Structure 1
Amino acid sequence: MTIVLIHGAATRADVWNPLVAALGDLDRVIVPQRDYSGDWGHELGALEPLCAGALVVGVSGGATLGLELALRGVPLRGAVLHEPAAGSYAPALLDHVAAAWRENGVDGFGSALYGPAWSRKLSPSASAVARDFAMFRRFEPYAPSTPLTHVLLTSGERSPESRHMSVQALSRLTGARTTLVPGASHAVHLEAGAALASLVRSEHSRSPTPALRS
């Protein structure tokens, strides 16, 4: 089974290098470098052929893209999605990130979103971050025609209550399963890589039939 790792805003594909190493014995791991186009159609169009039939793993904006793929009926084998955006179901979720972006640009954005595990060396240009942030703030989830039981939504043990509430709201809306990642906040791939790898391995073993597009 192919595993696809989708990165979020203010990071590049190489943010996944430690997880790739941890999953090295599992089939084929693909780590696409997104274009930061700011356009949902472009981003999803590039990811869909890679993700169809695959186990998709995403954090933050990468989780948001994975969730949108699942909502659109792309036949994912499964998904592990950590703290995606929640649109109007958590309207203030990214307010502190927006404030930090206005005040301190990319450095403020990355630190507010991911915490101390993030560093500027992980980030693309300021214009790329701006396009991503605008796109992810436009995300609005909706109820799928079939519950997303093949999707696992995760939140970090150390994340603020607003993150836990947003994940639970998304679970109620979509039918996705949820779990808590010990030792992690939003930057689970940087803070708790072993725990994330364990979850991916568990979902890989679970291997349900792909959810077909309705």
Structure 2
Amino acid sequence: MPSRRILLVHGAATTAGVWSTVRKLLENGSPAFEVQAPTRACSGDLRTEVDALADAAAGAVVVGVSGGATLGLALLAAGVPVAGALLHEPAVGSLVPGLLARVAEEYAAHGVAGFGSALYGPAWDVSMAPADPDAVRRDFAMFRAFEPPAAPLRLSALVTTTVGELSPPPRHRAAQALRSAAGIPFRVLPGCGHAVHLEQPGELAAAVRELTG
């Protein structure tokens, strides 16, 4: 029987509150899911973040956006036995150099507000960021340093990445590059960019249901 347990993993400059609409859609739909959406420590250490999520991820369908998707890849690479994963626009390191260059420029110029706006677009606002402003610096350094698996993963669960229809070409190249490098298929989600959980939460929830069906 497909897993009915979902783990939602948030990215940089957000907390678990960013999942409020998606969580309601998954918990109140038919069938209903058991949903966990922890607020991460934003430690800046990939191993620490993976270890903190591993128990909840085991046997669950992991859903992540942005840095949350990157952590989903890290969980897969660490061999955590997830039931499935839907990962929207993770970081891909040297597969697409410069993918996060504009985000870095805006962060340097305008701090957390510039970072979030450049990464997520107008659907994000600074109230969604963690109270600790240094959490963004730690997360961003960690995600910029991330390198995806260099060889196809041996996946025992259904895993896909997604990319927003409205996302810029480098994001689409990243999805294609990750498919070639790690063997993870991707699909395009309509009507959204990077912040699918804010722009088109219904599309994301529907994609999760399709994956688990």
TM-score by length of 1: 0.93
Of residues 103, 113, 116 in structure 2, which corresponds to 1:107?
Answer: 113
Cα-to-partner distance string for 1:36-68 (whole Å, 9 max, x where unaligned): 100111100000000011000000000000011
Deviations 1:96-148 (A, max 9, x none): 00000000000000000000000000001320100000010110011245257
Q: Post-superposition shift, 1:154? A: 0.2
- Report the counterpart of residue 17 of structure 2 in structure 1: 14
RMSD of aligned alpha carbons: 1.2
Runs ≥4 residues deviating over 2 A: none
Unaligned runs of 5+ in 1: 206-214
User: Aligned with 1:5: secondary structure?
Assistant: strand
- Once the two structures are superposed, the pairs formed by residues 1-214 of structure 1 within 5 Å of their partners are 1-25=4-28, 26-124=32-130, 125-142=132-149, 143-147=151-155, 150-205=158-213
Percent identity, aligned pairs only, is: 51
CA displacement at 1:27 relative to structure 2: 2.8
TM-score, structure 2 as length reference: 0.93
Return 5+ residue gaps in structure 2 as ranges.
none
- 3-state DSSP of counterpart to 2:19: helix
- Output the CA distance in 1 between the equivalents of 2:60 and 2:156: 15
CA shift, 1:201, in A, is: 0.6
Give the conservation status (yes or no) of the 8 Å contact 1:63–1:81: yes
Contact 2:44–2:141 (CA<8 Å) still a contact in 1? yes
> How many residues get paired?
205
Q: Which amino acid aligns with 2:50?
A: L
